[in-house]
Structure 1
Amino acid sequence: MTHLLEACMDHLDEICAIDQEVIGDFSRSEYIRTAINEKRCIIQKTEKGIAGFLIFTNDFFENSFISLVIVKRSERRKGVATALLVFYVEMVDTPKIFSSTNQSNTSMQKVFETTGFIKSGYIENLDEGDPEIIYVKLK
């Protein structure tokens, strides 16, 4: 059984461990701690523990912005990212929801398309040679 819920500080170490597994370090630990404290972090929890998490903000030009979706390597291709996005879209009350991913991240692009997000633009020069694709979901 899986549960989608707001993260709490009891989840911090496990979320940071998943993030470290994916990016290779703990550089975002304080960012994650802040998001949890501000109630801007959602997790998908299974009987095995946390499968993935999503961090958002609601102050992107008066709209929502999903800044991070991370799924534990062992839980990938099981619908975790899709479930997190769908859950967030249902709970948010802004008319538009934005997010982004690197052009090289074709897996996340497919998740956005599956959940009804459409391409909205590009940002160059964030990651050298790998533009950021901006997506939007209109409610």
Structure 2
Amino acid sequence: MTNIIQAAIQDLDEIMYIDSEVMGDTSRRSYIANAIELGCCISAREGDEVVGFLLYDTHFFDCSFISLLIVSPSKRRKGYASKMLDFMMRISPTAKVFSSTNRSNGSMQKVFAANGFIQSGIVENLDEGDPELIYFKAK
């Protein structure tokens, strides 16, 4: 059974394991711990195991911005990302929700499209030769 809930600080080690699976290191530990403490981290659980997480804040022009949406590589394509996005839309403290992904990340672009997000802009020069695509959805 899948549960989508606000993450607790006790989830940090499991979340960091997933982040390090994807990123190859644990350099974002403080960033993620801070998001959990602020109540801005959502986790997807399969039974007792954390299988994915989503971080957001409201610093993007006073709108919610999903800064990270990561599902464990072994748990992808099972709907966890969509369930976390749906939960985020229900709890968002703002009427507008934004996120982004690199142009090279076709899988994430498909997740956004499948969940009703529309492309809303582009930012050049963050990653050389791989622009950041901005996505938007209203509550």
- Could you state the TM-score of these two structures normalised by the residue count of structure 2? 0.97
Offset of residue 92 of structure 1: 1.2
Mind listing any 5+ residue stretches in structure 1 that lack a counterpart?
Answer: none
1:133 to 2:104 alignment = no
**For residues 14-66 of structure 1, what are the alpha-carbon distances to aligned partners after superposition, in whole Å with 9 as ceiling and x for unaligned?**
10010000010011111101101111000011126111000000232111000
Alignment partner, residue 52 of structure 1: 52
Q: What number of residue pairs does the alignment pair up? A: 139
Q: Residue 26 of structure 1 aligns to which amino acid in structure 2?
A: T
Aligned structure 1 segments of 4 or more residues deviating by more than 6 angstroms = none
Q: Distance in 2 between matches of 1:4 and 1:48?
A: 12
Q: Distance in 2 between matches of 1:24 and 1:65?
A: 24
Mind listing any 5+ residue stretches in structure 2 that lack a counterpart?
Answer: none
Alignment partner, residue 124 of structure 1: 124
* RMSD of aligned Cα (Å): 0.9
Q: Residue 62 of structure 1 aligns to which amino acid in structure 2?
A: D
Q: Distance in 1 between matches of 2:93 and 2:41?
A: 16
- Could you state the TM-score of these two structures normalised by the residue count of structure 1? 0.97
Offset of residue 70 of structure 1: 0.5
SS at match of 1:100: strand
Moved more, 55-64 or 117-126: 55-64
1:71 to 2:71 alignment = yes
The percent identity for this pair of structures is 53
Map 1:92-131; keep pairs closer than 5 Å.
92-131=92-131
